[in-house]
Structure 1
Amino acid sequence: MEENQSLWRYKERILQCLILVYAWETVSAQIHYSIPEEMQKGSFVGNIAKDLGTEGKQLSDHGLRIVPTIGKLQYFSLNANNGHLLTSERIDREAICGEAEKCILPLQVMVESKRKLYGIEVEITDINDNAPHFPPGEQEVKINEISPQGSRFPLPEAQDQDLGMNSVQSYQLTGSSHFSLDVKKGENGARRVELVLEKVLDREEQSVYDLTLTATDGGDPVQTGTTQIQVIVLDANDNAPVFSQPLYAFTIEENISKGSTIGRVRAVDRDEGIYGELRYSFKKATKKDSQMFFFNATTGTITVIGDVDFEISSSYEFEVQAEDYGGLFDRAKVEITVTDLNDNAPELAVSFLTNSINENSPTGTVIAILNVEDRDSGINGEISCLISQILPFQLKKSIGNFYSLVTVDALDREQMEAYNITVTATDHGTPSRSTSLIIPLQVLDTNDNPPLFHQSSYVSYLLENNQRGASIFSLKADDPDWGENSNIKYYIIQGQIGDFPLSSFLSINSETGIIYALSSFDYEELQEIHFQVKAQDGGSPPLSSNITVTVFILDQNDNAPEILYPSVPTDGSTGIELAPRSSEPGYLVTKVVAVDADSGQNAWLSYQLLKATEPGLFTIGLHTGEIRTARPFLDKDALKQSLVVLVKDSGHPPLSASVTVTVVLANSIPEVLTDLSSISTPADPQSDLTFYLVVAVAFVSCLFFTFLLVLLALRLRRWKNSQFCDSGSLNFTGVPVSQFVGIDGVRAFLHSYCQGVSLTTDSRKSQFNISKADYSSTLKNQLAGDIKDPVNTTDDLNLNSGDLIIVQVS
């Protein structure tokens, strides 16, 4: 049976051990050490670096340190070289934990490299460093001589701040055989010592007994304490005082003012006289109790004389005694409970802090580790810790009263570059108390934004003939990043303009974005330039964006009108146009054709007749350049009419060109020559020059006449259906001489005075559109006129015969 019980106890102990191991493993990263009290300063406690797995040659890189606790003495220090936990103060278990059975000093160790907090528990074990001791002075016990044998009288108990076997284990009484000692162990483990009367006393035989009471603890080595007890034998007093109740319980609030009365105890003695007078006194009261309360010996009133602080002591317990002058007494117990007031605000301390964080840091990044303490207890010591603003941060509770401040959302420096995080710790007392702490945090920039231009595309205008190096316009891009990440440089993306690279025409200031022209542009050659500009920041890696730029070259009035018809002869002569004398008003004599290389308003041309031999005889269309007769020809009108035509554009300032047109009033060239020969040549200093001009005109006319014969022979095959072929009465053995002598080839003949000309131009192209109907109609009119066509097969025209001189005034 005993073996079964022993086996069962063994299994029960193993199960308890397993439960303790499992419970230990569930504690969040707790490391437990145990050391005895009163160790010398600098004594080894444990190897934290090894237990946390951070030992190595680079131990300092881990940032291993002890996190200080608010308002508490630091009993331990950490050797940063080897990671050993050492004692930094003398540790007195009794001073720290008092009568607590288990004394544990918690501390927290921070591993900054991991940003993690570890809890450490150091258990302080008791040593027998305190000897039992009694209240100071000689103890006095008064016993009435009529006390019966076996009467019991309480003796002062020895105090020993040690625990367990190191505390008081036994008492011994010496000095007289009339008394013995009875020690009883109470429910709380305390030993109650009573003096037992073994023999009846006789005051007349001996009125005083001197006894020695010795208290012994169970430590190794054993320590003892003694006190002297004087037993005074009193005369007979048959009624002892009696308290109204065995236990007096009072409740007071902490911070009660000094001098306040807590309550009163009362005892009654039915004796009269001196044996009925009572004296009240403390019994079994500690020094702390006597310094906190005053017990009136006459009235039994208990008064506060010290500073009552719940955080120092939440209750007081002691005994009071009422004794008459006959030596009889009674004792009662007094319990004073201190209620906690919310008189302490929470305390916040920063154990770890980083003042800056990258904006691309992942969520959950630890910014700070805070330690929150409240010296109140109960609901007054319960703390809620929160962030007072709506911010992308959160407080997460760690070990004990430690909180970690972490990020919960992505940070964007461009939206918020700095935070002042207000952390508020509030207790649950009434009224509640709170403490706030402001944690500044700077958000560091990362290159997460490319430069952005102000517009989706840019259009600029530049007048042609610009100066080289002239500023065209300026681009601007913004980058919301900071520092080098927002330092923007501009580049033109290389391209081609024709056969030349874009860089030979344009350049850009990489710092300011101003675009410059490297050459002078000509609208007639280049109207617009398309290219792209890149804006790139200075981040790593850099970010960039492109924009399309269009530069339109604007036209300037830098080209004077160019007269295409009549063209200026290269031999120095002027052209001659024929106008039949029978012409009606409005007859189209010829048309001045001009173009302007400019565009727009700068190319709008107008025609003016500046000078004429017979004013009012001819008119010219303002916009068409057509020269028409204004009235019928008269006999008095000069045979040769000189017209000076001015062609002017509409630019600012306008540019112009002029041409001299000679109109001869005749039906044919022979007639012209006959009429001109009858005109006497006036004496003119320039007659020689005129003679050479006439000779040159005649020579050119002959060559031109011969060319026309060949040309018409070839073209008759193509124009079978034209009205030239329908007119059977005509025999093209001779071709009319062009009304304008000295122009280029066949075009001078085809663009005769019967033609309609229209011109369209851009910067480099022109096209003539000839009205065939007008040409044919004019030719018919010539054939049907009253004047005989001098050009036929029977005529034998010799342009070089005769001494004819044609005089032209231009």
Structure 2
Amino acid sequence: DRDSGKNGQVVCNTPHNLPFQLEKSIDNYYRLVTWKYLDREKISMYNITVMASDLGTPSLSTETHITLYVADINDNPPTFPQVSYSAYIPENNPRGASIFTVMAQDPDSGRNAQVTYSVTEDIIMGGPLSSYVSINSDTGILYALCSFDYEHIRDLQLLVTASDGGDPPLSSNVSLSIFVLDQNDNAPEILYPSIPTDGSTGVELAPRSAEPGYLVTKVVAVDRDSGQNAWLSYRLLKASEPGLFAVGLHTGEVRTARALLDRDALKQSLVVAVQDHGQPPLSATVTLTVAVADSIPDILADLGSIRTPGDPDDSDLTLYLVVAVAAVSCVFLAFVIVLLALRLRRWHASRLLQASGGGLVGVPASHFVGVDGVRAFLQTYSHEVSLTADSRESHVIFPQPNYVDTLISLESCEKNDSLLTSPDFRQRKNEAASVQVSSVLCSRLILRGMIIFINLYFRTHIVEIV
């Protein structure tokens, strides 16, 4: 101040509502200092007014303005609006589908406010978490890397980290729970009655004396889905005798709806449907065969007649019959061939006898045990095969043979022994007789065995054929 005395004495001051103050150093030199901490995130710029006044009367003054900008330092980590997040994704989702977006705020500026996102690595269901989900480091969008199956995995627990670009960087974490929503992608699975591995249907037993409401069996089913997708209802889809049986809507119990009558068939076929309440609903069916009789032994005795048309056992029986007929035909053909061979051998032996026994003309043929004697022996040997329809046993009766016409008188043989002068001749005659006996006996035994075999086979399978 160019005045003198008090009129030239200068005093400087600043507003008291600012975190600044003036400190006098030398003469009229002042320093502007802070008297408390500055927070750029609250106030990043100050307009400071400095007023200089003299001590004259009246006092004269002047002022100047200082604009102060507060520089940022990385003193704030990124923060999430919530402590935890929950996300939902339906199962059977396409790969690469967006699941959720996380966002963190950093009140700093510049690089100190640049936030990057990452997911903490973990092991889920025996595999790395990175094989299930990934996150965009800049935007915080979470993507599914696979198609989730509710029946395999129902939820994922993640830890998302947000880091800024300061030096040193600051970070914060937030938990994210991903829940897989169930879809109706599983049909009901029937546990009982279980379907036999041979493709036939099980047989349930019901006495003919059963009263209305009698529990015949119960259909048990489960659904791997959850919620209403797993709510099951049962209904009778088809029955060979409508109105005879009823199925519980929620229990699956098969009960008689009325008393069984004599006119009701022995075999009752039911088709039970099991349906869930999903959208769209899925269902499964099971076929029940109910055998009806007065008592359990009666049912067991008649089980052979409860075969459904087209049963694989029928085709197997037909195959067995064809094989049996073919085997019998082959045996018979072999028998015919052997018989022809024996006949040829006998004919050849008879030719040899004719060639070597020319001197035996006039000798009575009855003195030899030859073809006529063997024929007489075979005519007296007979058998009877008794096959009964009520029993599976066969009775073979062998009557006592009669040797009156075939035995040769010892005296005749002794008298004519001199005529059989050739040993070769006697040997060949005996061979011819034995060949004829063997061939005829063999043929009869083979035919008898064939008859017994066919009888036993058809008796064993007569119920199945009917």
* Same fold per superposition (TM over 0.5): yes
Deviations 1:213-260 (A, max 9, x none): xxxxxxxxxxxxxxxxxxxxxxxxxxxxxxxxxxxxxxxxxxxxxxxx
CA 800–518 in structure 1, closer or farther in 2 if over 3 Å, else same? farther
Residue 291 (structure 2) aligned to one of 664, 687, 709:
664
Letter in 1 for 2:71: L
Other-structure match for 1:489 = 116
Instruction: Verify the 8 A CA contact 1:612 1:643 in the aligned structure 2.
Output: yes
Q: Which has the larger share of strand?
A: 1
Change beyond 3 A, Cα 1:668–1:695: farther
Match of residue 23 from structure 2: 396
Q: For the Cα contact (< 8 Å) 2:78–2:115, is it kept in 1?
A: yes
- 2:84 pairs, out of 457, 464, 479, with 457
| TM superposition shift of 1:614 | 1.7
| DSSP 3-state at the match of 2:7 | helix
1:802 matches 2:462: yes
Relative to its length, the structure with more helix (as a share) is 2
- Find the partner of 2:71 among 444, 447, 469: 444
- Residues in 2 aligned to 1:609 and 1:676: alpha-carbon distance in whole angstroms: 24
Q: Supply the distance in 1 between the matched residues of 2:39 and 2:263 (Cα, whole angstroms).
A: 98
Q: What SS is found at the alignment partner of 1:525?
A: coil
Task: Note if 1:480 corresponds to 2:111.
Answer: no
Partner of 2:257: 630
C-alpha contact 1:578 1:667 (8 A) present in aligned 2: no
Corresponding residue SS for 2:166: coil
2:314 maps to 1:692: yes
Q: Would you say 1:468 and 2:90 are equivalent positions?
A: no
Task: Name the TM-score, length of structure 2 as normaliser.
Answer: 0.66
Residue 383 of structure 1, CA deviation: 2.6
- One of 397, 407, 416 as aligned partner of 2:34: 407
Residue in structure 2 matching 1:522, options 144, 149, 152: 149
- Checking the alignment, whether the CA contact within 8 Å between 2:112 and 2:166 is kept in structure 1 is yes
1:541 equivalent to 2:168? Answer yes
CA distance in 1, matches of 2:189, 2:316: 27
Task: Please list the CA deviations of residues 319-341 of structure 1 after superposition, one character each: whole Å capped at 9, or x if unmatched.
Answer: xxxxxxxxxxxxxxxxxxxxxxx
- Equivalent residues, number: 326
The 2-side partners of 1:531 and 1:553 are apart by 14
* Matches for 1:38-117 after TM superposition, within 5 Å: none
Instruction: Look up the equivalent residue of 1:467 and give its one-letter code.
Output: P
Alignment of 1:210-359 (within 5 A): none
Instruction: Give the partner amino acid of 1:692.
Output: D
CA shift for structure 1 position 455 = 0.5
SS at match of 2:462: coil
Give the alignment partner of residue 246 of structure 2, picking from 619, 642, 655.
Answer: 619
Q: Do the aligned residues in 1 keep the contact of 2:78 with 2:164 (CA within 8 Å)?
A: yes
C-alpha distance in 2, partners of 1:615/1:642? 10
Work out the CA distance in 2 between the residues paired with 1:638 and 1:805.
20
Q: Is it true that 1:604 corresponds to 2:228 in the alignment?
A: no
Aligned-partner SS, 1:394: strand
Mapping 1:12-27, distance limit 5 Å:
none
1:531 equivalent among 139, 158, 176: 158
Q: 1:432 is matched with which residue?
A: 59
Q: How far apart are the structure 1 equivalents of 2:48 and 2:299?
A: 110
What is the CA deviation profile of residues 410-450 of structure 1, one whole-angstrom value per residue up to 9, with x for unaligned ones? 11110111111111122333433221211111111100000
Q: TM-score, normalised by structure 1?
A: 0.39
Distance 1:391 1:498 in 2: 60
Greater RCO (CA < 8 Å, at least 6 residues apart)? 2
Residue 671 of structure 1, CA deviation: 2.0
Alpha carbons of 1:693 and 1:546: their partners in 2 closer, same or farther (altered >3 Å)? farther
**Contact kept in structure 2, 1:467 and 1:520, CA below 8 Å:** yes
Give unmatched runs, 5+ long, in structure 1: 1-373, 697-798
* Contact 2:94–2:147 (CA under 8 A) maintained in structure 1: yes
Query: Which one-letter code corresponds to 2:111 in the other structure?
Result: E
| 1:579-603 superposed Cα distances (whole Å, 9 cap, x missing partner) | 1111111111000011111112111
Say which SS state the counterpart of residue 444 (structure 1) adopts: coil
Aligned to 2:272: 645
Residues 1:531 and 1:690: Cα distance change in structure 2 (over 3 Å): closer
Instruction: State the Cα deviation string for residues 82-129 of structure 1 (Å, max 9, x = none).
Output: xxxxxxxxxxxxxxxxxxxxxxxxxxxxxxxxxxxxxxxxxxxxxxxx
* DSSP-derived class of the 2:187 partner: coil
SS in 2 for 1:507: strand
What secondary structure is seen at the aligned counterpart in 1 of 2:134? strand
Q: 1:259-279 CA deviation, whole Å, 9 max, x = no partner?
A: xxxxxxxxxxxxxxxxxxxxx
Q: Deviations over 1:33-53 (max 9, x none)?
A: xxxxxxxxxxxxxxxxxxxxx
Matched letter for residue 93 of structure 2? N
Identical amino acids, percent of aligned pairs = 62
Q: Deviations over 1:149-175 (max 9, x none)?
A: xxxxxxxxxxxxxxxxxxxxxxxxxxx
**Aligned-residue offset at 1:629:** 0.8
Query: Which secondary structure state, in structure 2, belongs to the residue aligned with residue 551 of structure 1?
Result: strand
| Contact 1:641–1:663 (Cα < 8 Å) also in 2 | yes
Letter in 2 for 1:514: I
Q: Which moved more, 1:548-557 or 1:686-695?
A: 686-695
Q: Aligned partners of 1:692, 1:414: CA distance in 2, in Å?
A: 91
Select the structure of larger CA radius of gyration.
1
Tell me by how many angstroms 1:676 deviates: 7.0
Q: Evaluate the alpha carbon distance shift between residue 678 and residue 529 of structure 1 in structure 2; reply closer, same or farther with a 3 A threshold.
A: closer
Q: Residue 503 in 1 paired to residue 130 in 2?
A: yes
The aligned amino acid for 1:398 is S
Distance 1:555 1:673 in 2: 47
Distance 2:34 2:222 in 1: 76
- Once the two structures are superposed, residues 633-660 of structure 1 have per-residue CA deviations (whole angstroms, 9 ceiling, x without a partner) of 1112222111111101111111110111
Judged with a 3 Å threshold, the aligned counterparts in structure 2 of structure 1 residues 532 and 695 are, in CA distance, closer, same or farther, namely farther
- Counterpart residue identity of residue 631, structure 1: R
Q: Distance in 1 between matches of 2:465 and 2:288?
A: 18
The 3 A distance-change label for structure 1 pair 484 and 496 is same
1:554 alignment counterpart = 181
Residue correspondence of structure 1 range 99-248 to structure 2 within 5 A: none
Contact 1:451 1:535 in 2 (8 A): yes
1:533, CA displacement in angstroms? 0.9
How far residue 661 of structure 1 moved from its aligned partner, in angstroms, is 0.7
- Residue 768 of structure 1 corresponds to which residue in structure 2? none
How many angstroms apart in 2 are the aligned matches of 1:380 and 1:609? Answer: 115
Distance in 1 separating the partners of 2:218 and 2:316: 24
Q: Residues of 2 paired with 1:474 and 1:634: CA distance?
A: 70
Shift of 1:667: 4.4
1:375 positional shift? 1.9
In the alignment, is the contact (CA less than 8 A) between 2:271 and 2:286 conserved in 1?
Answer: yes
Q: Which deviates more, 435-444 or 421-430?
A: 421-430
1:694 and 1:805 in contact (8 A); partners too? no
Distance 1:587 1:669 in 2: 15
Report the CA distance shift for 1:695/1:464 in structure 2 as closer, same or farther (over 3 A). farther
Q: How much does 1:486 deviate? A: 0.3
1:382 aligned partner = 9
Counterpart of 2:456 in structure 1 is none
Cα 1:416–1:438, aligned 2, differ >3 Å: closer, same or farther?
same
